[in-house]
Amino acid sequence: MTPIRKAIFPVAGLGTRFLPATKAMPKEMLTVVDRPLIQHVVDEAREAGIEHFIFVTGRNKGVIEDHFDRQVELELTLSERGKRSELEALARDLPGPGATSFTRQQSPLGLGHAVWCARDLVGDEPFALLLPDVLVQSRKSCLAQMMDAYRDLREPANMIAVEEVPAERTPMYGVVGIGKAEGKAFSITQMVEKPPKGTAPSNLIITGRYILQPQIFGLLEKQEEGAGGEIQLTDAMIRLAERTPFYGFRFEGTTFDCGSKIGFLSANVAYALARDDIAPAFRDELKRLLGER
C-alpha cells in the first residue's frame, strides 16, 4: 500500500460567521487556547506521519504562511531575554525546510475546487485532506487512527472519517450508507449530501478527515457546479466510488465544529480543561462565572 505522505489543508474560506473578527485575520488563525486552529490540525497531521503540508489559500491569508515560517526578530528577542522554553516550543512547531507548500484558490468555488487546486503539488499519489474548521480531541490523533485502518485494507481505497449523530440532525450533513466491515473500517454503500428528513441511509455523518486516491483530481476537473454554485467534493467522491472503493472509519474522539461560534467556544473550554497547567484555575473560574461557588 502506497504510504500517505502529503496532506491538503483548504484555508481559503472567508470566515463570514466570525465577522468582524475575521475581517483582517483568517479564521484559521483564531486561537483555541494558545494555538491557532490551523496549528492544531497540522499537529494532528504531523502525529499521523504526514511529511508535506499543502495549504490552499486565498486573499488576505498571508499570515498563515508567515505562521509556518521562522520569525527571526522574535527568535532573537526571546534569545536575548533568556526565554529558552518559548524558543524550543517555536522550533518544535516549525515544519522542516521544503515541508510546506502554498497554492492560491483565486475564487471561492467550493471545497472540491480547493482540492483540485492542489493537484500538481500532490501528484499521482494518495493524500490526506483535513478541514481546519474541524478539531478532533483524542488521545491518538484522528488521522493517525485512520492511517492505521488504511494500512490494514487489502487494496488501495478511499477512507472517510465518520461519526454518529442523532437522526434528526442528518439533514445538516453528508451521510454514508453502511456496508461490510473490514478491520476497523466498513465499506460505504452510498453517500448522500444533506438528505431530506427521514431518508438518510444511516446516522453516520462525514467528518472533515479524508484519505483520497489521486483519481479524484481528474473527476474534479470535469465536475459540474453543484449546491450553491460550487464544485462539491462529495459529488466527485460519489463518482469516484463507482471505480474505487470507499471505506468509513469511526474514530475515537470528540469533534468540535469550529466553523460555528458554539463549537469554537466549546473547543476552547475542552482544550483548556485538558491542559494541566491551566485546568485547575480555569475550572474555578468557570464555576465562578456559572455561579456554582
Tell me if 126 sits within 8 A of 52, measured CB to CB.
Answer: no
Check whether 224 has a pLDDT greater than 80.
Answer: no
The pTM (predicted TM-score) of the whole model is 0.92
- Which pLDDT value is given to residue 91? 86
The CA-CA-CA angle for residues 256, 261, 266, to 5°, reads 45
Q: What's the average model confidence in pLDDT over 81-93?
A: 87
- The residue with greater pLDDT, 279 or 70, is 279
- Which pLDDT value is given to residue 182? 84
* Percent share of the chain, pLDDT over 90: 66
Q: Could you please report the per-residue DSSP string of 149-171?
A: HHHTSSS--EEEEEEE--GGGGG
Sketch out the chain's domains with CATH numbers.
6-259 (3.90.550.10)
Reported as half-sphere exposure (CB side, CA atoms, 13 A), residue 143 has a value of 29
Q: How confident is the model at residue 177 (pLDDT cuts 50, 70, 90)?
A: very high
Q: How confident is the model at residue 293 (pLDDT cuts 50, 70, 90)?
A: low
In terms of Cβ atoms closer than 10 Å to its own Cβ (0-12, 13-18, 19+), residue 107 is: exposed
Check whether 2 has a pLDDT greater than 80.
Answer: no
3-class SS shares of the chain: helix, strand, coil, % to 5? 40, 25, 40
